[in-house]
Structure 1
Amino acid sequence: MARAGINKALVQRARDTLLARGEHPSIEAVRVELGNTGSKSTILRYLQELQASEPHPPSIRLDDELQTFIGSLAQRLAADAQAAVAEDRARLQRQQAAYEQQRAIDQARMEQLQTVHQELGVERQAAQRREQELNERLQTVDGECARLKAGAQHAQRLLEERTQQIRSLEEKHKQAHEALSHYRQQHLLQREQEMQRHERQTQLLHQEARHSRELLMRKQEEVAQIYLELERINAEQQMRVQDLRRQEHELQQALIDNARLMNALQTAEAGRQILQDEIQALRARAHRTLLERREDKQALRRMTLQLAQLHELLARLTTV
Structure 2
Amino acid sequence: MARGGVNKAVVQIARNALLARGLHPSIDAVRVELGNTGSKSTIQRYLKELGEAEAPTPEMPLDEELTRYIASLVVRVQQRAEEALAADRAAFDRKQLAARQQREVEAAHLEHLQLAHATLGQARQAGLVHEQTLTSQLQACEVESQRLQEAHEQQLRLLEDRAGQIVSLEDKHRLTQEALDHYREQHLLQREQEVQRHDQQLQQLQREARTNRDQLLSKQEELSQLYRDLERMSGEQLRQHQETRRLEQALQSAQEQVQAADLEHQSDLRQMHAIAHKLTTLREKTKQQLLKQRQTQRELRSQTQQITQLQTLVERLTQSAPTGPD
TM interval, shorter chain, is: 0.5 to 0.7
Q: Secondary structure at the match of 1:30?
A: coil
Corresponding residue for residue 130 of structure 1: 130
How many Å apart are 1:61 and its aligned residue? 2.7
| Native 8 Å contact 2:13 2:76 kept in 1 | no
Looking at structure 2, the residues matched to 219 and 118 of structure 1 have their Cα atoms a distance apart, in angstroms, of 69
The CA distance in 2 between the partners of 1:117 and 1:19, in whole Å, is 69
**Alignment partner of 1:265 is 2:278:** no
The secondary structure found in structure 2 opposite 1:59 is coil
Partner of 1:90: 90
After superposition, give the CA deviation of every residue in 1:7-32 in whole Å (9 maximum; x if it has no partner): xxxxxxxxxxx879661663635168
Cα RMSD over matched residues? Answer: 3.2
- Could you tell me how far 1:170 is from its partner in structure 2? 2.7
Aligned residue number for residue 214 of structure 2: 235
Query: Partner residue of 2:170?
Result: 170
- 1:282 aligns to what? 261
1:192-235 residue CA offsets vs partner (Å, 9 max, x unmatched): xxxxxxxxxx34x5444433332222211111111111111111
Q: Distance in 1 between matches of 2:13 and 2:80?
A: 24
The within-5 A match list for 1:73-112 is 73-112=73-112
Q: Which is bigger in relative contact order (C-alpha 8 A, separation at least 6)?
A: 1
TM-score (norm 1): 0.63
What 5-or-longer segments of structure 1 have no aligned partner?
Answer: 1-17, 37-54, 185-201, 288-320
Q: After TM superposition, give the deviation of residue 76 of structure 1 in Å.
A: 3.4
Query: How far is 1:248 from its partner?
Result: 0.7
User: Could you tell me which residue of structure 1 aligns to residue 197 of structure 2?
Assistant: 218
State yes or no: 1:157 paired with 2:161: no
Contact 1:124 1:258 in 2 (8 A): yes
Matched, 1:28 2:7: no
Offset of 1:257 from its aligned partner? 1.2
**Relative to structure 1, is the Cα distance of residues 98 and 20 closer, same or farther in structure 2, using a 3 angstrom cutoff?**
closer
Cα–Cα, structure 1 residues 162 and 259, in superposed 2: closer, same or farther, change >3 Å? same
Change (3 A) 1:70 1:273: same
Structure 1 residues 22 and 165: alpha-carbon distance in aligned structure 2, compared to 1, 3 A threshold:
same
- CA-to-aligned-CA distance 1:224-266 (integer Å, 9 cap, x gap): 1111111111111111111111111111111111122222223
Which of structures 1 and 2 has the bigger CA Rg?
1
Q: Quote the Cα distance in structure 2 between the aligned partners of 1:126 and 1:56.
A: 99
Aligned to 1:146: 146
Change (3 A) 1:210 1:32: farther
The alignment partner of 1:23 has SS state of: helix
Q: Distance in 1 between matches of 2:161 and 2:24?
A: 136
TM-score (norm 2): 0.62
Q: Supply the distance in 2 between the matched residues of 1:24 and 1:242 (Cα, whole angstroms).
A: 104
Contact 1:131 1:251 in 2 (8 A): yes
The alignment-based identity, stated in percent, is 27
Measure, in 1, the Cα distance between the counterparts of 2:13 and 2:169. Answer: 150
The answer (yes or no) to whether the contact 2:106–2:254 under 8 Å persists in 1 is yes
Residues 1:275 and 1:21: Cα distance change in structure 2 (over 3 Å)? closer
Please, which runs of 5 or more residues in structure 2 have no aligned partner?
1-10, 30-54, 267-326
1:137-188, CA deviations, whole angstroms, 9 ceiling, x for partnerless residues?
11111111122122222212222222232233234333443x15xx76xxxx
Give the 3-state SS of the residue equivalent to 1:284 in structure 2. coil
CA distance in 1, matches of 2:20, 2:69: 16
Structure 1 residues 246 and 209 mapped into 2: Cα distance closer, same or farther (>3 Å)?
A: same
Equivalent-residue separation in structure 2 for 1:226 and 1:257 (angstroms): 46
The one-letter amino acid of 2:228's match is: H
List aligned pairs for 1:11-26, cutoff 5 A. Answer: 23=16, 26=19
Partner Cα distance (1:149, 1:255) in 2: 31
